[in-house]
Amino acid sequence: MPLEHFPNHDGESPTLRTAASVRKQLGDISETTLWRRVRDTRLIFPKPRKILGRLYFVADEVDAWIIAQTEVVEGLPPGDDDPDTHNEAA
């Protein structure tokens, strides 16, 4: 696939990730969960590229998607990464 098909191409080859690498980056999700995210049009998850018969994800696209999904939770004590277990009435 010509590099001009990659968004924001700046003359250098994009960093590619395998599906296994993307699954691990997303918290060791299952293969089925990854492909559900790819097919779910509401999630706007990056589509893989087929190169020599193998599928790869563009790393910058996956990273941008993760950042877009990130929600900053304010008011949590340091180290408390689960807002559902934080009791404000305490």
| pLDDT tens per residue, range 26-43 | 999 999 999 999 999 999
| Residue 45, in any domain of the structure | yes
pTM, two decimal places = 0.67
How many CB atoms neighbour CB 36 within 10 A? 13
Q: Please report whether residue 66 resides in a domain.
A: yes
Q: Is residue 9 part of a domain?
A: no
Task: Provide mean pLDDT across the span 4-18.
Answer: 73
Residue 44 lies in a domain: yes
- Looking at the domain assignment, is residue 4 inside a domain? no
The whole-number pLDDT of residue 13 equals 84
Q: What is the mean pLDDT of residues 52-61?
A: 96
Stretch 16-34: mean pLDDT, rounded?
Answer: 97
Rounded to an integer, what distance in angstroms lies between the CA atom of residue 41 and that of residue 44?
5
Residue 82 pLDDT more than 70? Answer: no
- pLDDT value, residue 75: 73
Establish if 59 belongs to a structural domain: yes
Q: Which domain holds residue 43?
A: 14-70
